[in-house]
């Protein structure tokens, strides 16, 4: 008796399955599924054969989790259809790891000028301690900035994920509005975000996030300078003698779920 429509014959977890790793990180899992009850390619178009195979009941749909215990972060993102003999086809199901991946961390040196010591006290220089000769000079120093780079796969808007362009614009060039990665508000700057749907077209995007950390925050300081001497005098007060420039907008980085959970 002929089969009414395509039927899922089996999904093989072992034979023909592949595991793609980057170091110890599982990047992708591939599982073959077998479908029968398809029309022969010779009697119809290859695209119809392909579509009928993918519409087979029982095959995982876009962004479905891997069914094996402990693999729920592996998400179905792509399918390859190969015609077999008769009315059968093999469908290779590609699952990508949607868990947070820490790419690198570390620090870079920032060179800048300051008129304060390590405790935040303003430098004071005078000529033999004579009254009226004190001034606050600037010196060139270096300071390490923390670096944190990570990536994460999110579903496309078609599958209820964020719009990638809006997602980037909501965070790029902004500082954290809440405590994040042990840093006080205003100390982490989202420096760069990229997104790519290679191998996951119309299903998901892989976002790569780059952050910089400055323990002093990201508000540049501007001091008043005496136009006659070219120096900043002592005793300057915040708001009158010097200001902190509130240059960056802020955003709550918490909902991004980009903080690793160490077990």
d(CA 8, CA 4): 12
d(CA 16, CA 8): 17
Other C-beta atoms closer than 10 Å to the C-beta of 203 total 23
Residues of the chain under the 70 pLDDT cut: 1-4, 13-14, 40-44, 120, 123-124, 126-137, 226, 228-235, 237, 239, 261-263
Q: Which pLDDT belongs to residue 249? A: 96
Angle made by CA atoms 218, 220, 222, in degrees to the nearest 5? 165
Q: Which pLDDT belongs to residue 196? A: 96
SS3 labels along the chain: CCCCCCEEEEECCCCCCEEEEECCEEEEEEEEEEEECCCCHHHCCHHHHHHHHHCCCCCCCCCCECCCCCCCCEEEEEEEEEECCCCCEEEEEEEEECCCEEEEEEEEEEEEEECECCCCCECCECCCCCCCCCEECCEEEEEEEEEEEEEEEEECHHHCCCCHHHHHHCCCCEEECCCECCECCCCEEEEEEEEECCCCCCCEEEEEEEEEECCCCCCCEEECCCCCCCCECCCCCECCCEEECCCCEEECCHHHCCCCCCC
Domain ranges of the chain: 7-97, 101-256
Q: Which pLDDT belongs to residue 1? A: 42
Q: Which pLDDT belongs to residue 263? A: 40
Q: Which pLDDT belongs to residue 129? A: 59
Q: Give which of 167, 136, 133 is closest to 152, Cα–Cα.
A: 167
Q: Which pLDDT belongs to residue 109? A: 84
Q: Which pLDDT belongs to residue 117? A: 73
Do 137 and 123 contact (CB within 8 A), yes or no?
Answer: yes
Q: Which pLDDT belongs to residue 2? A: 47
Q: Which pLDDT belongs to residue 211? A: 97
């Amino acid at each position: 008796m002929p089969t009414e429509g395509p039927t899922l014959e089996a999904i093989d977890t072992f034979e023909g399955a592949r595991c793609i790793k980057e170091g110890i990180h599982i990047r992708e899992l591939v599982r073959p599924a077998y479908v029968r009850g398809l029309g022969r390619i010779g009697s119809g178009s290859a695209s119809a054969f392909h579509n009928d195979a993918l519409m087979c009941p029982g095959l995982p749909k876009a962004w479905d989790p891997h069914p094996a215990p402990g693999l729920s972060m592996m998400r179905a993102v792509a399918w390859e259809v190969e015609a077999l003999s008769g009315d059968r086809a093999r469908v290779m199901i590609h699952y990508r790891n949607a868990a947070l991946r820490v790419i690198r961390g570390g620090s870079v040196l920032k060179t800048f000028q300051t008129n304060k010591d390590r405790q935040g006290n303003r430098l004071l220089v005078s000529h033999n301690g004579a009254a009226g000769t004190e001034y606050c000079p600037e010196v060139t120093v270096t300071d390490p900035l923390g670096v944190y780079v990570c990536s994460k796969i999110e579903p496309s808007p078609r599958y209820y994920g964020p719009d990638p362009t809006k997602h980037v614009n909501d965070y790029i060039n902004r500082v954290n509005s809440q405590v994040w990665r042990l840093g006080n508000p205003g100390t982490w700057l989202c420096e760069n975000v990229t997104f790519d749907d290679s191998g996951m077209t119309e299903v998901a995007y892989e976002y790569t996030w780059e952050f910089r950390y400055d323990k002093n925050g990201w508000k540049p300081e501007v001091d008043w300078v005496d136009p006659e001497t070219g120096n900043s005098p002592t005793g300057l007060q915040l708001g009158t003698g010097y200001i902190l420039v509130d240059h960056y907008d802020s955003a709550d980085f918490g909902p991004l779920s980009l903080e690793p959970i160490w077990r």
